[in-house]
Amino acid sequence: MQDKCALLVEDNKIESAAITSLFNRAGFRLSAVSDGYAALDIISDNQYDMVISEVNLPSMSGIDLLLKIKEIDATLPVILISGDICVKDAVEAMKNGAYDFLLKPLEAETVECIISGICRTPVFSEQSPMNGKYTIVTKNDEMKRLMNYAEEISNSRASVFIHGESGTGKELFARHIHQFSTRKDKPFIAVNCAALPETLMESELFGYEKGAFTGAIARKKGKFEAADKGTILLDEISEMNYQLQSKLLRVLQEKEIDRVGGTESIPVDVRIIATTNRNIDNLMQEEKFREDLYYRLNTIPLHLPPLRERKDDISLLADYFINKYNKLENKVVKGLTEHAVIELTERPWKGNVRELENVIERAVLMCKGTFIDEKLLSLNGRLLTARPPVYMGQSVAPEVSLRELEKKVIFQTLDKTNGNRTHAADILGISVRTLRNKLNEYRQKMEQQ
Ligand SMILES: Nc1ncnc2c1ncn2[C@@H]1O[C@H](COP(=O)(O)OP(=O)(O)OP(=O)(O)O)[C@@H](O)[C@H]1O
Ligand SMILES: [Mg+2]
């Protein structure tokens, strides 16, 4: 994993040194500048994980800096800090997308909280859900064969195309390939191709020059440049816009990228891994996916089997997740009853391993004894997969509170995305952090009942 690095904008030298030392102790590198213009100059050339800025700066206020940063990179977390409590500033900051507003002097505990919050919030890139730590758990022969194959091809520069239903472990395999390769100490950057509209996706992937379009106030590197010498994961590539597909094909052929509004091509050395859960043959027939791009990407194809075709993995994975959530939630669940194992083995697992993980996570939380029985699993099954009634569009809605309705819509969306919180949050138009908070709230309520 790369070093985490933040940018501090602070004009007071003593405070700047104190904050730098707090972040360094928490394992974050910090570069410091003393005004907003200097910050904007270096943000576009560097991949920071967050920006921390004083509100009252000499030339450009922290709020103005926040607005400008959001134009350059809407996903970059910005934390505003101030020596005085000014409610107006705090409200303004949060309204304009600040990650947090904190009072100085910062304390070590606050810094730890911010860092862990930001590192756990998956947006794009290295801040992905699995962030460095991953284990492929399997005893299935086909999966073992695929893992060996992935290791064998890890050092080739040829593109890999991972096919598989949602939740089968495509991202996990992509990381496995990267970790086994000589590129392992270079960046692994994941981009969800379904997350942004075409124009934004182009500048996200290839970057842009200052003045390329309204609001492009400084040059910004794209994900390809950021992934140079490493690996880029183009997740859900089948959702990529047709025009953008031709630009990607050029990158594959020429091994160089063109920044939006740029005049010179920039050489990049990036290993591409693409994934899809769709049937690409159908998409090519419908002319939604370019055949030439497909053949370029599919140099090394990997097909991950769905969980229902590797039933021998179900109880192994269930035990692995019980262990994981015992540790995370301080529980001491020993395992599954025999009936529970049968129940799990017979399910269709449309959401594959992710769905299994969600079911076990909830069962561990709800388990009052030492073993998970089938009742705990069916309770979870209903919560996760039952389709709530549709109220929208009915002339008279049944009496239901707004909170209840929100909860139902959230579960319905999670159901649609097979439990994928990042996708669900995208659809709901909220951050993954908000979604996680809401789910924790529901879970606490359930536990209290
Ligand atoms: N064999 C496995 N061992 C351990 N965990 C696994 C395994 N397969 C999948 N997982 C876990 O299941 C979840 C889904 O895996 P992953 O994100 O790699 O799936 P995906 O195929 O990319 O899904 P999607 O198509 O929805 O993006 C992750 O939390 C991952 O850690
Ligand atoms: Mg994925």
Q: What is the CATH number of the domain that holds 72?
A: 3.40.50.2300
Residue 394 in any domain: the answer is yes
Exposed, middle or buried, 116 (CB in 10 Å: 0-12/13-18/19+)?
A: exposed
Find out whether 172 and 136 touch, Cβ atoms under 8 Å: yes
Q: How far is CA 141 from the centre of its chain?
A: 30
- 170 CB under 6 A from ligand 1? yes
Instruction: Tell me, yes or no, whether 301 and 152 share the same domain.
Output: yes
State residue 275 phi and psi, 5-degree precision. Answer: -135, 155
User: Helix or strand or coil: residue 137?
Assistant: coil
pLDDT digits (tens, 9 = 90+) for 113-156: 777 666 433 323 333 334 445 789 999 999 999 999 999 999 99
Find out whether 7 and 33 touch, Cβ atoms under 8 Å: yes
State residue 301 phi and psi, 5-degree precision. Answer: -90, 145
Residue 131 in any domain: the answer is no
Is it the case that residue 383 has pLDDT exceeding 70? no
Residue 262 in any domain: the answer is yes
Average pLDDT (206-223) is 85
Average pLDDT (384-406) is 48
pLDDT digits (tens, 9 = 90+) for 234-277: 999 999 999 999 999 999 999 999 999 999 999 999 999 999 99
267 secondary structure, DSSP code: E
- What CATH number corresponds to the domain at position 297? 3.40.50.300
Instruction: Tell me, yes or no, whether 297 and 153 share the same domain.
Output: yes
Instruction: Tell me, yes or no, whether 165 and 252 share the same domain.
Output: yes
Boundary of a domain, candidates 305, 338, 357? 305
Residue 70 in any domain: the answer is yes
Cα(167) to centroid of ligand 1, in Å?
5
At residue 286, the pLDDT reads 93
User: To test ligand 1's pocket by mutation, which of 171, 173, 237 has the most ligand atoms within 8 angstroms of CB?
Assistant: 171
Average pLDDT (370-395) is 56
- 343 CB under 6 A from ligand 1? no
Instruction: Tell me, yes or no, whether 299 and 170 share the same domain.
Output: yes
Average pLDDT (204-233) is 88
Which token pair is 29? 């590198």
Amino acid at 119: C
Least Cα distance to 439 among 425, 418, 429 occurs for 425
Residue 126 in any domain: the answer is no
Which token pair is 112? 């730890």
Cα(422) to centroid of ligand 2, in Å?
10
Instruction: Tell me, yes or no, whether 362 and 439 share the same domain.
Output: yes
Q: What torsion, rounded to 10 degrees, do the Cα atoms 226, 231, 236, 240 define?
A: 50
Which regions of 34-99 does DSSP assign to beta strands (E)?
50-54, 78-82
Which structural domain range is residue 349 located in? 310-448
Amino acid at 133: K
Which ligand 1 atom sits nearest the alpha carbon of residue 320? 4
**pLDDT above 70: percentage of residues in the chain:** 89
Boundary of a domain, candidates 251, 275, 305? 305
- Tell me which of 412 and 368 has the higher pLDDT: 368
Instruction: Tell me, yes or no, whether 71 and 111 share the same domain.
Output: yes
Instruction: Tell me, yes or no, whether 341 and 410 share the same domain.
Output: yes
Is it the case that residue 351 has pLDDT exceeding 60? yes
At residue 400, the pLDDT reads 55
Instruction: Tell me, yes or no, whether 152 and 113 share the same domain.
Output: no
Instruction: Tell me, yes or no, whether 436 and 388 share the same domain.
Output: yes
- 271 CB under 6 A from ligand 1? no
Residue 95 in any domain: the answer is yes
- What CATH number corresponds to the domain at position 411? 1.10.8.60
At residue 265, the pLDDT reads 94
Find out whether 291 and 249 touch, Cβ atoms under 8 Å: no
Cα(338) to centroid of ligand 1, in Å?
25
Cα(136) to centroid of ligand 1, in Å?
9
Is it the case that residue 60 has pLDDT exceeding 60? yes
At residue 125, the pLDDT reads 30
- pTM summary value: 0.63
Q: What angle do CA 129, 131, 133 make, to 5 degrees?
A: 110
At residue 379, the pLDDT reads 55
* Paired sense of beta strands 231-235 and 271-276, if any: parallel
Is it the case that residue 288 has pLDDT exceeding 60? yes
Q: What angle do CA 327, 331, 333 make, to 5 degrees?
A: 105
- 172 CB under 6 A from ligand 1? yes
pLDDT digits (tens, 9 = 90+) for 291-332: 999 999 999 999 999 999 999 999 999 999 999 999 888 899
Instruction: Tell me, yes or no, whether 106 and 206 share the same domain.
Output: no
194 secondary structure, DSSP code: T
Q: Alpha-carbon distance 388 to 383, whole Å?
A: 10
pLDDT digits (tens, 9 = 90+) for 166-207: 999 999 999 999 999 999 988 999 998 887 777 788 988 999
Instruction: Tell me, yes or no, whether 361 and 380 share the same domain.
Output: yes
Domain count along the chain: 3
Boundary of a domain, candidates 278, 305, 332? 305
Find out whether 264 and 220 touch, Cβ atoms under 8 Å: no
* Paired sense of beta strands 50-54 and 4-9, if any: parallel
